[in-house]
Amino acid sequence: MCIIQTNNGKPEDFIIINLSKIMKIRTMMTAGLILSVSFLFLLGGCSHLYEIDFAAQRQTHLSEDLASLQFEKHQTLPDPMTLDDAVAIGLQNNLDMRVSEMMAAIENDNALSEKLKMLPTLEADGTYSKSNVYNAPDEDLSSKKATLSFAWNLLDFGLSYIRARQAALRTEVRKIERMRQAQNLALDIVVAYWKAVLAEQSLEKIRKIEAEVNDYRIKAEELVKQKRLDPIASKAIEKKIVELAITASNLQADISGAKIELSKLMGLGPATSFNLMRASFKAYVEKLPSPLSLDSLKLEKIALRGRPEFFSADIDMNIQQDEAKAALISMFPGIEFDFALYYNTNSYNVNNFWSTWGGSITSSLLSLPFQYVNWKKQKKTLEMMRLQRLILTAGVIVQTHIAVHDYVVKERQFRLYDDAFVIAEDLLKMSRERHQLGLLSDWAMTQRMLEDVVAMLERDRRIIDVINAYNILLVTLGRDYNRWKDALSDISETDIKENPASPVKEKQVIEKKAVQSPKSPPPDTVPEENTDKAPGGADDYPLDYPEELRDTG
């Protein structure tokens, strides 16, 4: 204690001050100063945490991405590559398919995590403390404490059960979406494949005609020099050669573009080289069903029963029904049961071990209006999803009829252009005979050749159109690529429930030897390794949708 004198030292104005309080104030001020300096130091250091070398980071990520895209270096591609091979490679290596596969795996993990949330809470706690003074007269200087508590809330368990079921249903939705993605990808691959093959075949024929016409041009130039032919005729032949060169250049561009597009769809680099197997397009088209054999109403029913979007919509409605149930259950009070074990080494306690158990009911009364409104909203959302499914049903019906109509029109147009090409071929053949007899000039012969090339190109475009229209019809019906070769006229309404082959081809198709034997199947036949039944059985899937829509990858 100390005495401080004020007001000219009058003894009645002495103030007694506790030195211990002064020391505490000084200690608090020092601690505050240290905390302030530490905070300013951390604040100054945090300003450097966001200084990132984005250029170096981009370079690192770019190197990783380019290394991931170079998988074709250690992959053997079939030579020549059939259509089935191209689809198999695309379904396995396409980047979008790989992303959807990863998303499906994430949904599986999410479903498992939601299922684990159903477990009751079990908490363990242990502490050890030691002091140099007694804080209370009934405590030891050192103590050990441990607690093991168990609690189970019926309301939380019910909600966790619903969330786990919703997560499992979302996993099925991902699988169905991946099946539909595989169907659309196969459609794009088939279009790009036929474009590339058709352009290559057309280019070969144009090169032959171009060489023949060039011979006529040389002869015409000699005749012009001998003044036995009008120079206009020679220039006319030269003009036809230029037109053929332009057509050949356009076809070369189409081949390059189609191969680049095919490489992208297959998940290969644009610089990857591969050879495509040649096929007779006319023989392929002849295997397509006759438009008169297609029953639009029958195909409409098949589409309504087999399109993956319907199964996805049904599952979404189940998820929404569970959401409405969860909103209803949340309005009930929570009932919780708990049990706990305690251990304490305090020597003043009568018992070092003891336990407690009991139950409780809790309810947030003021949240009931909100929960009721939320429940009504979920019910309305369910009705809205029913209307959306109705819109989907109407849309698929229209799509089926449009797909059938488009196939009928494209098939009829192909027949007409094919007849025109056959006539052009006959005229060219007769013109060659007359030209050999000297009854037809070189200029007229080149004119006939150019007409034959134009007729061929027009016919070939219609081949692509009719093949694409038919494949669109199959995708509209929701059929997997491995079932595209089935005759539509033989499809029944119960046929949709048969086991198809897996939509994702096995790796053996891609890694087979580069050189195939002469007895290799043509691209319009199904390789043996692509016709295996799906490995998944009916017991592996809780939902009743066709097995061709189940994830077999």
What is the DSSP code string of 108-135? HHHHHHHHHTTSPEEEEEEEEEE-SS-S
447, 349: one domain: yes
User: How many other β-carbons are positioned within 10 Å of the β-carbon of residue 401?
Assistant: 16
- Report how far apart, in Å, the C-alpha atoms of 275 and of each of 83, 193, 454 are: 11, 11, 26
Q: What is the pLDDT of residue 277?
A: 84
Average of pLDDT values for 405-431? 90
201, 327: one domain: yes
DSSP codes joined into one string, 273-314: ---BPP--HHHHHHTSPPGGG--HHHHHHHHHHH-HHHHHHH
Average of pLDDT values for 383-395? 94
Interatomic CA distance for residues 474 and 468, integer angstroms: 10
Between residues 448 and 500, the one the model is more confident about: 448
Q: What is the pLDDT of residue 325?
A: 93
Is 220 inside any structural domain?
yes
CB neighbour list of residue 120: distance below 8 Å, 6 or more residues apart: 150, 151, 152, 153, 157
Provide φ and ψ at 113, rounded to 5°. -65, -40
- Residue-wise burial string across 219-229, b where 16 or more C-beta atoms lie within 10 A, e elsewhere: ebeebbeeeeb
Q: Beta strand 121-130 with 15-17: parallel, antiparallel or unpaired?
A: unpaired
Q: What is the pLDDT of residue 82?
A: 87
Question: Lowest mean pLDDT: which of 11-25, 107-121, 273-287, 327-341?
Answer: 11-25
Give whichever of 38-42, 61-65, 294-298, 498-502 has the largest mean pLDDT.
294-298
Q: What is the pLDDT of residue 26?
A: 61
89, 28: one domain: no
Average of pLDDT values for 132-143? 74
Q: What is the pLDDT of residue 25?
A: 63
Average of pLDDT values for 147-151? 93
Is 145 inside any structural domain?
yes
Between residues 290 and 241, the one the model is more confident about: 290
Provide φ and ψ at 49, rounded to 5°. -70, -25
Residue 329 CB-density burial (10 A; 0-12 exposed, 13-18 middle, 19+ buried): middle
112, 161: one domain: yes
Has this prediction a pTM greater than 0.85? no
Question: Lowest mean pLDDT: which of 7-21, 55-69, 280-294?
Answer: 7-21
Q: What is the pLDDT of residue 232?
A: 76
Interatomic CA distance for residues 153 and 497, integer angstroms: 43
Q: pLDDT for 517-553, tens place per residue?
A: 333 444 343 333 333 333 333 333 334 444 444 443 3
Q: How much is the mean pLDDT over the chain?
A: 77
Q: pLDDT for 97-106, tens place per residue?
A: 888 888 888 9
Helical axes 154-225 vs 308-329, angle rounded to 10°: 160
Interatomic CA distance for residues 487 and 290, integer angstroms: 10
Is 95 inside any structural domain?
yes
30, 89: one domain: no
26, 170: one domain: no
Q: What is the pLDDT of residue 397?
A: 94
Is 49 inside any structural domain?
no
DSSP codes joined into one string, 153-200: EHHHHHHHHHHHHHHHHHHHHHHHHHHHHHHHHHHHHHHHHHHHHHHH
Q: What is the pLDDT of residue 324?
A: 94
CB neighbour list of residue 471: distance below 8 Å, 6 or more residues apart: 187, 190, 191, 484
User: How many other β-carbons are positioned within 10 Å of the β-carbon of residue 366?
Assistant: 7
Is 48 inside any structural domain?
no
Is 46 inside any structural domain?
no
Q: pLDDT for 314-352, tens place per residue?
A: 999 999 999 999 999 999 999 999 999 999 888 877 888
DSSP helix/strand/coil, 149: strand
Average of pLDDT values for 227-256? 71
Both structure tokens of 281:
């397009």
Both structure tokens of 146:
């441990």
Between residues 238 and 449, the one the model is more confident about: 449
80, 19: one domain: no
Q: How many domains does the chain have?
A: 2
CB neighbour list of residue 179: distance below 8 Å, 6 or more residues apart: 308, 480, 503, 548, 549, 550, 551
**Residue 37 in this model has a pLDDT that exceeds 70:** no
Interatomic CA distance for residues 69 and 266, integer angstroms: 12
Between residues 379 and 141, the one the model is more confident about: 379
Look up the domain containing 24 and give its range: 2-34
14, 148: one domain: no
Between residues 268 and 137, the one the model is more confident about: 268
353, 468: one domain: yes
β-partners of residue 17 are 2
Both structure tokens of 187:
């459609």
215, 316: one domain: yes
Interatomic CA distance for residues 219 and 527, integer angstroms: 51
461, 509: one domain: yes
**Residue 219 in this model has a pLDDT that exceeds 60:** yes
Is 482 inside any structural domain?
yes
- Report how far apart, in Å, the C-alpha atoms of 131 and of each of 24, 46, 127, 349, 488 are: 21, 37, 13, 18, 87
**Residue 382 in this model has a pLDDT that exceeds 50:** yes
Asked if the bond preceding 80 is cis, omega within 30° of 0, the reply is yes
Interatomic CA distance for residues 456 and 189, integer angstroms: 24
313, 395: one domain: yes
**Residue 502 in this model has a pLDDT that exceeds 50:** no
Interatomic CA distance for residues 493 and 514, integer angstroms: 41
Is 55 inside any structural domain?
no
Q: What is the pLDDT of residue 350?
A: 81
Question: For a pLDDT cut of 70, what percent of the chain falls above it?
Answer: 73
Average of pLDDT values for 21-47? 62
- The confidence band for 421, taking pLDDT boundaries of 50, 70 and 90, is confident
CB neighbour list of residue 455: distance below 8 Å, 6 or more residues apart: 417, 420, 421, 423, 424, 425
Between residues 424 and 234, the one the model is more confident about: 424
Residue 508 CB-density burial (10 A; 0-12 exposed, 13-18 middle, 19+ buried): exposed
Angle among Cα 288, 547, 300 to the nearest 5 degrees reads 45
Between residues 69 and 123, the one the model is more confident about: 123
Q: What's the one-letter identity of residue 518?
A: P
